[in-house]
Amino acid sequence: MPSTDTARLLIACDDRPGIVAAVASFLHARGANIAQSDQYSTDPEGGRFFLRMVFHLRGLSDALPRLERELAAEVAAPFGMEVHLHDAAVRQRVAILVSRYDHCLLDLLWRRRRGELDLDVDLVVSNHPDLAADVAGFGVPYAHVPVTPETRAQAEARQLELLGGGRFDLIVLARYMQVLSGAFLDAVGAPIINIHHSFLPAFAGAGPYERARERGVKLIGATAHYVTEDLDAGPIIEQDVIRVSHRDTATDLARLGADIERTVLHRAVKWHCEDRVLVSGATTVVF
């Protein structure tokens, strides 16, 4: 649907009667027209309730600050809601971190150029210079920040200069082969989505294709998840798999898995930027 004068509303709270009625009444009283509505309850008696609404309101951009204040006071506070309200016409500003593997990075840039992703990629940061020319072809700035065990703290400080301070709404790790510290995660000020080349929780950490080959698995996969301080253990957004056989080498698995990785990462980034993902503890609800 058109993004002009359109907002997306996400709500999470303890379940109880009257939530949908309160939200709908609030929007109706201000002349808004609800275009889409999705909801989910973990348990109608004592569970958690999740809601995603898309609504149209003439003059939304000017009315949004007042709408946020009134929604917080009149609806969110009485129900103990966590609320996110986003103007659909405002694209999310995205930065991508990458190492040497190019398939996920170039897929995201290509989809953005084709209009398949409604977001702005404003920066690519890499610990290697290898992909600078490829990224330049998309007109996106490229920053090379080398990382070694001895310079990790200095490198993260430089990355925070580039990425922190509210410059970005989302950071994507498109096969960035470095572990980010807890201090970096606390300071960067934006959610981070990672693509891991296994069907988590199986084969977390390094070398998943090699370990999958050693175990003789018949399915390999990829997992897009939010990054937390626990390695490859953040809330999962999307996963997919492909069938393999005993004849496939670790190199074959990596080649087959690359297609799954870029597809899964694309979906996760798209859904996040369309405000379809709500985090619930260690899991997610995706509308």
Residue 209 in this model has a pLDDT that exceeds 70: yes
Task: Place 22 in a pLDDT band, splitting at 50, 70 and 90.
Answer: very high
For helices 250-273 and 208-215, angle between their N-to-C axes, nearest 10 degrees: 120
Q: Report the alpha-carbon distance of residue 202 to residue 189 in Å, rounded.
A: 29
Average pLDDT for 169-193: 96
Which single residue is written with the structure tokens 């920053």?
143
Q: CA 208, 131, 263 angle in degrees (round to 5)?
A: 50
Q: What is the pLDDT, as a whole number, of residue 187?
A: 96
Task: Please name the amino acid found at residue 196.
Answer: H
Is the distance from CB of 211 to CB of 203 less than 8 angstroms? Answer: yes
Is the distance from CB of 5 to CB of 57 less than 8 angstroms? Answer: yes
Domain at 6-87: CATH code: 3.30.70.260
Average pLDDT for 46-60: 96
Q: What DSSP character marks residue 73?
A: I
pLDDT digits (tens, 9 = 90+) for 85-108: 999 999 999 999 999 999 999 999
Q: Report the alpha-carbon distance of residue 24 to residue 81 in Å, rounded.
A: 15
Residue 44 in this model has a pLDDT that exceeds 80: yes
Residue 43 falls in the annotated catalytic set: no
At 95, list the tokens: 């930065």
Is the distance from CB of 155 to CB of 125 less than 8 angstroms? Answer: no
Q: What is the pLDDT, as a whole number, of residue 46?
A: 87
Average pLDDT for 51-75: 97
Marked catalytic residue, from 5, 15, 169, 232: 232
DSSP for 91-115, written as a single string: PEEEEEEE-S--HHHHHHHHHHHHT
Q: What is the pLDDT, as a whole number, of residue 60?
A: 96
Task: Place 15 in a pLDDT band, splitting at 50, 70 and 90.
Answer: very high
Average pLDDT for 215-242: 95
Q: What is the pLDDT, as a whole number, of residue 2?
A: 59
Q: What is the pLDDT, as a whole number, of residue 162?
A: 97
For helices 103-114 and 250-273, angle between their N-to-C axes, nearest 10 degrees: 40
Q: What is the pLDDT, as a whole number, of residue 203?
A: 87
Domain ranges of the chain: 6-87, 92-286
Q: What DSSP character marks residue 76?
A: I
Average pLDDT for 111-115: 96
Q: What percent of the chain has pLDDT over 70?
A: 99
Task: Place 202 in a pLDDT band, splitting at 50, 70 and 90.
Answer: confident
Instruction: Please report the beta strands in the chain, taking only residues with DSSP state E, as ranges in sequence order.
Output: 6-14, 33-41, 48-56, 82-87, 92-98, 119-126, 142-144, 170-173, 192-196, 219-226, 236-243, 277-280, 283-286
Task: Place 79 in a pLDDT band, splitting at 50, 70 and 90.
Answer: very high
Label the pairing between strands 119-126 and 142-144: parallel
Fold of 92-286: Rossmann fold (3.40.50)
Choose among 193, 278, 270, 272: nearest CA to 228. 193
Residue 1 in this model has a pLDDT that exceeds 60: no
